[in-house]
Structure 1
Amino acid sequence: MKISKILAGMSAAAIVASMAMIPASAASTITIDNAPADEWSNAFPKFTNAEGKEADDFVDGKTFTKDTELKMTVHFEWTEKGKTEGYCAIKPAFANGWKPIYEAADLAKSGVAVKSALTEVKNDDGSSTWKDADGNAVTTAVQDDGFVQFFSTDVTEFTYTVSSDVVNTIIENANAENGFDGVVFQVGNNGLKVTSIDFSQDGVKLASATQNETPAGSSTAGTESKKDDPKTTSSTAATSSTAAGTTSSKAATSTAATSSAAASDNTAATGATAGLALAGVALAGAAIVISKRK
């Protein structure tokens, strides 16, 4: 049977439905210039907000996609102090309050090795290697305080997945009247410099980039809420591990401040799907014409 007859036998609606099922790829990258590398600092440079005040920048939750997990691959550089000490750390956190996205009770859900479950093995040179229950060396682990630690200078990136329910909570908080939320990264012991972050969702932006797009009555005031006090944060580690490699981490569910405002739908890539559907309609029409002319 000729292709023209097969296509002619398909209705335009059927072709539209099949085209709409094709997933649209979405990704965005934030490159960070002049990023702070100091211990306990925000990984993003400060910016002047819409109120003319200096504020900490953050990944704006208003740009997230509802009901969709968010994978973030963080690329970073070691400081000289980190190289000397053999470890460094960073904490992914809610922008509003700097509370860790990984709660202590949910660490096992993260996909990152839980440090308290590892065994420290002392090496002949005085350094330490952290091993899991199977005796495998681990170079990335998360602490109870939410800081992700790196024990090898060969590790220069890690992937962190925020679950869809946490994404929805962030969106709700971000769209509350005079509210804000998103994701911030707090630098831990020995410092490090974040150079870029890749996101699995399209259109993810920093608050400094979205403040001019913010409707009246909402806020991108920046993270002026309290940061974790380094004196009370147990972001300590043993000396360096001899093993190398990277570990991907997946975000566990977490609690955050709730809001009475409705969450934004923030649906992404619908235009691309609609365009494909229209192309399908045109294809169906053309196939029918070809069949009739035979």
Structure 2
Amino acid sequence: MSQKSTQKEKVQENETEKEKETTTKSNKAKTKKTGQFSKHLVCGICGELFYQTVIITKCLHCFCGGCLSTYFQENDNEECPICNVSDLQVKNFELLDNLVRDFLLENPEKERKKEILEELNKKNGFLDENKNNKEETEKKKKKKKKKIEKKKKIEKKKKIEKKGQSKTKNSCSICSLSGNQIQPIKEYNLTKLPKSLFSYNKFERGVLVKYLEDQDFSFQDMWEQIMKALENGAYSSTDAPNFHNLSPNDKSCESCLEGVVSELIYSYRTNIPNSELPPKITKRQNCWYGRNCRTQKKYDHSSKLNHICEQTKK
């Protein structure tokens, strides 16, 4: 009896060991299978099981909603963290959430701590509730941004106005450029006639010089008369078409000065009464092209026709 009992015990022990081996193998296989399965349920950002899964429809990469929201905020762009695809459309992916839920029923030890999940929930900008908060925040940001931009525009406008005022004080009234050799027109000391006077018409230049000599006027005397006439509005815009609305206090740079002086002397010349000029000067017919005539540089042409007039023929 004792031998039979011993043999029976040995058989039972062998069976128990076999059962243990089978269970161990089964558990190993299950663990291996679980590990392989869980790989497909892991977020590409945090490396943990998906929570409130979202999918990028363009590339089909999936992430935890909270992880992807945080990634977008921290990187200040909306590109896929894995493949960098842009112009994204992100949607909630409940199918993966359900798979994770089923997986956790069999593997509860894999579930993350409650505090971590709550934090992810707060960060998830793809939930409807969080979306509303996010939209509200974005509205506030946009409003603040507009306010800042408006303030900047006002400041910029003020700077431009200030610069314009400064420019008016220290720049040429004709070309608006600033520089050291800028002075009011009335302070100009006219010691000689500009070379380009009357478009280089030497005959008309001689007529003016002779007139000034007869009147016993110096060039500076003429200039002072011009300034008085300018101040009193005696020269209309048609008298000086290239320099409208000039005043004696307007400033001119050295480059523009010759043109200003020539134009004002032309206006002075047009206002000299015919009675104060020789008949041979006043009896000349007007040139069709007037002051714009390109032939007036030739003495023969300019002596026969008057060029102190506006163009009448095109």
Under TM normalisation by the shorter chain, which class is it?
under 0.3
Q: TM-score, normalising length from structure 1?
A: 0.20
Larger RCO: Structure 1 or Structure 2 (Cα < 8 Å, ≥ 6 residues apart)? 1
Q: Where is the helix percentage greater, Structure 1 or Structure 2?
A: 2
Higher normalized strand content (fraction of residues): 1
Rg (Cα) greater in structure:
2
